[in-house]
Amino acid sequence: MKVLIDIGHPAHVHFYKNIAWAMQKNGHEVLVTAREKDVTVDLLDSYGFNYEVLSRMGSGKGNLMKEWAGRDMKLLKVAYKFDPDVLTGILNPCVAHVAWLMHKKSLIFTDTEHAKLANRATLPFADMVFTPTSYVTDIGKKQIRYNGYHELAYLHPAHFRPDPDFLLSLGLDRNERIIVLRFVSWGASHDVGQHGVTNKLEMVRELGKYGKVFITSEQKLEPELEQYRIHLRPDKLHDLLYYASLYVGDGGTTAVESAILGTPSIYVSSLVGTMGNFTELEEKYGLMYSFNDSGQALQKAVEILNNKHAKQEWDKKKDDLIRDKIDVTGFVVAYMDFISSQSRK
């Protein structure tokens, strides 16, 4: 079977990497296309993927719509040449449109209920829409729910092992506390008009009293903050999160990743309360806190850092989560194999 995977965001590289490798191992032919955003291309290079860049990230709804239109045409051209049986992407309107035009199957994955523009542009054209069981919106007959999160496609213990030498590479030891801050660009279609951490400098100064602060940011940082920026290979971010004592930021994916890795996670965003996976991680598993007020987030961060046993407590809660959830990569690959077997009948 021939499968076209279109990557729109760095997190999508992580989601699809193990799926692509497993499918190739099972004899399927895989083609990867990509959108140049943040470290997407760097990640694809680090994992050894061959790929074709179709567009670069725009900002604002007007530019995003222009980008989508251009991507539609470029993806259609690539797809006609490759002639895939299945096209897949994460809330990807171009995948859904091209598959619909070519009368091919489209498999769309999403966990973002509040992405109204992308939902309207994508879901009506999709054949199958895969969502976590925590996803609060009923999409109808095409919706397939699975008991996991996107991040468990690459952070499930079946696929992720932390690098035991990672701390040494930073000149740190296991007794040194690491605090990771993440600031996003707010350029995605569902992020326009939203906001996250507003007290960056205060947060860095206060949290720096408790450990080593590292910042990973899509934004341009103020001069006072630039010294905290960590220059890290993009494929090593999850090692940093694994060994961290605390994550605070407006990066939603990174907040979920930290929680799944057993690191206390604080998400700061005006979007709080709109996504089922965040609600479940907070209310059912106690792995995350969400705030739309940066001052309250800082208070909670200090409270966690004053708890000497927080990391051990989160590690136990993480184990409960892993016991409850599935290996998402295994689920997706099995579904792809099923589609392939049906097409041969």
CATH number of the domain to which 241 belongs: 3.40.50.2000
Between 106 and 114, the more confident residue is 106
Same domain, 171 and 315: yes
326-345 average pLDDT score: 89
Q: Is the pTM of this model over 0.95?
A: no
Angle (CA) 201-213-300 rounded to 5° is 70
- Residue 116 near residue 190 (C-beta atoms within 8 A): yes
Q: What is the pLDDT of residue 57?
A: 66
Task: Identify whether 134 is part of a domain.
Answer: yes
- Residue 166 near residue 233 (C-beta atoms within 8 A): no
Cα(288)–Cα(258) distance, rounded to whole angstroms?
Answer: 9
Q: Which one, of 122, 108, 151, lies nearest residue 4 by Cα?
A: 108
256-285 average pLDDT score: 93
Q: What is the pLDDT of residue 177?
A: 94
Q: What is the pLDDT of residue 264?
A: 98
Q: What is the pLDDT of residue 108?
A: 98
Burial of 316 per CB tally in 10 Å (0-12, 13-18, 19+): exposed
Task: Identify whether 306 is part of a domain.
Answer: yes
Same domain, 189 and 89: no
| Side-by-side strand order, sheet with 288-291 | 212-217, 178-183, 246-249, 265-268, 288-291
Task: Identify whether 210 is part of a domain.
Answer: yes
184, two tokens: 């996003």
Q: What is the pLDDT of residue 188?
A: 52
Cα(337)–Cα(12) distance, rounded to whole angstroms?
Answer: 21
Task: Identify whether 227 is part of a domain.
Answer: yes
| Domain count within the chain | 2
Task: Identify whether 301 is part of a domain.
Answer: yes
**Reported confidence tier of residue 190, pLDDT bands at 50, 70, 90:** very low
Cα(290)–Cα(266) distance, rounded to whole angstroms?
Answer: 6
pLDDT at 229 over 90: yes
Same domain, 115 and 233: no
Strand runs (DSSP E) across 120-251, as ranges? 128-132, 143-146, 178-183, 212-217, 246-249
pLDDT at 258 over 90: yes
Task: Identify whether 161 is part of a domain.
Answer: no
Looking at residue 105, its amino acid is: K
Same domain, 137 and 275: no
Task: Identify whether 290 is part of a domain.
Answer: yes
1-14 average pLDDT score: 95
pLDDT at 319 over 50: yes
Q: What is the pLDDT of residue 64?
A: 65
Mean pLDDT of the chain: 91
Task: Identify whether 72 is part of a domain.
Answer: yes
Q: What is the pLDDT of residue 342?
A: 78
Q: What is the 3-state secondary structure (H, E, C) of 247-301?
A: EEECCHHHHHHHHHCCCCEEEECCCCCCCHHHHHHHHCCCCEEEECCHHHHHHHH
**pLDDT tens across 29-46, in order?**
999 999 887 889 999 999
- Residue 38 near residue 11 (C-beta atoms within 8 A): no
208-220 average pLDDT score: 92
Segments forming the whole domain that contains residue 74 = 2-156+326-343
